[in-house]
Amino acid sequence: MKANHDALDRFAQSLKARGSPQTEARYVRACESLITAVDATPLTQLKRHDIQRALAKLHAGGLAPRTLAVTLSAWRSWFRYLAKTDASINPTVFTGLKAPKAPKRLPNALTETEAVRLVMPPESENAEKASSTSLRDQAMFEVLYGCGIRIGELVGLDVADVDLANSEIRVFGKGRKERVVPLGAPASSAIAAWLDERTSIVGSVPEDALFLGTRGERISPPVVRRALKSRSLERGISSHVYPHRLRHSFASHVLQSSGDLRAVQELMGHASIASTQVYTHLDFQHLAKVYDQAHPRARKKGRDDV
C-alpha cells in the first residue's frame, strides 16, 4: 500500500539525518518486512494480533531470535516516530510484545588435551635460547589458561600484582573489583622466566605493566589475540582459539575435576552464581559423553548383554 511506503520513506529520511547508514539500512529493511507481512493493511488499522502474526511469519521463515529482536525494535521506533505527527498511528500495539528468546549459547571450551598442548612450552627452546617474545607469550598463555582471567585483566596486570613467593596474582576485574587468584607451578615458572627477560626491554620511561609490547609499552589485546592464534595454528588446533576461550576452558576443566561451583565462581570473579552455572552444562555434557562411551547399556554396538 502506497501510504505505508510513504510513511517508511519519511522514517528513512529521519534516520538518514542521524548520520548512521548502517542503522538506516537495517531499520528500513526491518520495516519493509512488516509492510510485506501485513499485505495491504494500513498502518493505522494494525492491531496487536497483526504485529504478532507478522513476527510469527518472519520466525517461521527462518529469522533468528536476535534478528527478530532488532526487527521488533525497528518497528517500535517507526511507530513512535509516526505517532509524533499522526494521531491515528497507535504505538501501543507493541505493548508487551517480545521476540522469541535466543537459545543460550554454551561456552566453547577446548578439550583438556588441546588446552595442555596449546600452553606447553616449545620443545625446541629452553630458557637460555628463548626469545623475549616467546618467553612473554608463554607466560601470558599460562596465566590465561592457568588462572582463567579475562584478556582485559591480563593486559591490566602490573609487576606489583604478582606474588611469586606465595604463588598468586592480584587481578582487577569488572568495576575494578579485586580478587586474588592462585598461580600454578607452570604459570609461576613462566612468569619468573619472563620477568628475568623483561628488564632488558623496558623503555627509558619505567613501565609498571607486567606484559610489554616490543617497544616497551603495555601490551594490547590485539597483540595477545594474534600471538594466541599463531600458537594454536603451530600446535595444530584447527578450531578458533581466542583468550576468552581459554577462560571457558579453565572454568570447565576445574569444575569437571572439583565439582565445586562456588570455588569456580570466586576464581572467575563472577558476581552471580548464575554466570558460573552455565559451566555445569558443559560438565554434564562431558559426563554424558563418558557414559555413552563406557556404559554397556549406552553402547549401540558391542557384545550382547549377558
List the catalytic residues.
150, 174, 244, 247, 270, 279
Q: What is the dihedral of CA 113, 119, 121, 123, to 10 degrees?
A: 40
**Residue 4: all three cell numbers together:** 505505508
The answer for residues whose C-beta is within 8 angstroms of residue 216's C-beta and 6 or more apart is 201, 202, 203, 207
Q: What is the DSSP-derived secondary structure letter of residue 209?
A: B
Strand order in the sheet with 178-182: 162-163, 168-172, 178-182
Q: What is the DSSP-derived secondary structure letter of residue 260?
A: -
Q: Are 267 and 146 in contact (CB under 8 A)?
A: no
Q: What are phi and psi of 101, to 5 degrees?
A: -70, 140
